[in-house]
């Protein structure tokens, strides 16, 4: 799908590749959204600065630009991961408590099996979320 937009934040959120129209009728493909394109393009391709006062950025846009190496989707994921990890920890705690009933396996083997599988899935998801957060934190 080809999308043309002047909304840089929108492009950052959805683009997997950016095609930049270069001078002389050429086009160059850059992986990622607008922020990725801006970081990868050669310095010679910078457009000349226009005279006059620069437009003031909104606080949310300014903080997204200061994200020190993270793209917009990565910054959003980085910000959302702590809440996701907290939710997974709470679910793991509830399932562990449920599975700690001494006669659960004898009384309700199907529920025991489902709860055990759910616990394993949530533990794996938590480990993955923690690894993602650490990776993003190192880059930030």
Cβ pair 58, 81 in contact under 8 A: no
Cα–Cα distance between 111 and 50 in angstroms, integer?
67
For 113, the domain range is: 72-139
Would you state the pLDDT for residue 90?
95
- Examine the domain organization and report whether 84 and 130 are in the same domain: yes
Would you state the pLDDT for residue 43?
60
The answer to whether residue 58 sits within a structural domain is no
How many structural domains does the chain have?
2
- Examine the domain organization and report whether 77 and 37 are in the same domain: no
Cα–Cα distance between 15 and 59 in angstroms, integer?
23
Nearest to 1, CA basis, from 73, 25, 14, 12:
14
- Examine the domain organization and report whether 37 and 76 are in the same domain: no
The answer to whether residue 126 sits within a structural domain is yes
Q: Strand (E) positions, 23-122?
A: 27-31
Read off the CATH number of the domain in which 111 is found: 1.10.287
Quick one: how far is CA 44 from the chain centroid?
30
Q: Which residues of the chain have pLDDT under 50?
A: 44-45, 48, 62, 64-67
- Examine the domain organization and report whether 126 and 85 are in the same domain: yes
Give phi and psi for 3, each to the nearest 5. Answer: -125, 130
């Amino acid at each position: 799908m080809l999308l043309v937009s002047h909304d840089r934040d929108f492009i950052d959120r959805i683009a997997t590749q950016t095609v930049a129209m270069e001078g002389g009728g050429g086009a160059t493909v850059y992986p990622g959204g607008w922020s990725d394109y801006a970081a990868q393009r050669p310095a010679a391709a910078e457009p000349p600065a226009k005279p006059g006062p620069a437009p003031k950025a909104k606080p949310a846009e300014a903080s997204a630009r200061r994200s020190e190496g993270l793209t917009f989707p990565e910054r959003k994921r980085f910000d959302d991961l702590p809440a996701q990890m907290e939710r997974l920890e709470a679910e793991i705690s509830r399932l562990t408590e449920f599975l700690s009933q001494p006669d659960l396996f004898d009384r309700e083997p199907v529920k025991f099996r489902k709860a055990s599988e759910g616990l394993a899935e949530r533990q794996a998801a938590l480990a993955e979320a923690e690894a993602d957060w650490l990776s993003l934190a190192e880059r930030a």
